[in-house]
Structure 1
């Protein structure tokens, strides 16, 4: 059994977000560039200069809460792309968390949600 410092995990995510520029490249209401039937329900972007499992920057969903702190993390796997990655959720309500989780649990994708307590 592996035991980790739960508080330290969230603290380090907060630090990463605090020192990294957030780029919103897909604002709420825009169409996905490859899947035009998908409309982004929230702002979506990435942390510039970071790296995720797919080799790109770490993806970020931005919710409606005024505080843009890390509220959750999605861990996903995509069998079609043959990759795994995390997505950071900033300022998301529990309803927004569920909405984002549902998005990442479609088709060849599967995901779990880690919620900050």
Structure 2
């Protein structure tokens, strides 16, 4: 097989994510401090929601974690795989500090889940 290496335009990737967030309605359905509906021992450390009328790998809307920074900027993306659910998806991290990024990454690296973090530079 011949594969062609392609240069990635990182600025364009982040610009398009920013645009997707800007043109979508952000719905926070699990505020910081609330328990997960199926796993009550899990308490959300940050606001968690989704971009309405978008599509993610699990067939639902794209998930978003919302951090404590005052500016509304996409700061990172988590790419996850869940063997129990047999799916992969991305989660947008909006306005998150580096400590918040790490806390969210740790959440997605438990049990049957594994994830990587792409941080915007």
TM-score (norm 2): 0.95
For 1:86 and 1:68, how far apart are their aligned partners in 2? 18
Structure 1 unaligned segments of length 5 or more: list them.
none
Rg larger for: 2
RMSD of aligned C-alpha atoms? 0.6
Question: 2:48 maps to what in 1?
Answer: 44
Shift of 1:4: 1.2
TM-score (norm 1): 0.99
1:60-108 Cα offsets, whole Å, 9 max, x none, are 0000000111000000000000000000000000000000000000000
Task: Name segments (4+ residues, structure 1) moved above 6 Å.
Answer: none
1:3-47 Cα offsets, whole Å, 9 max, x none, are 211100000000000000000000000000011110000000000
For 2:7 and 2:83, how far apart are their aligned partners in 1? 29
Aligned 1:65-76 pairs, distance under 5 A: 65-76=69-80
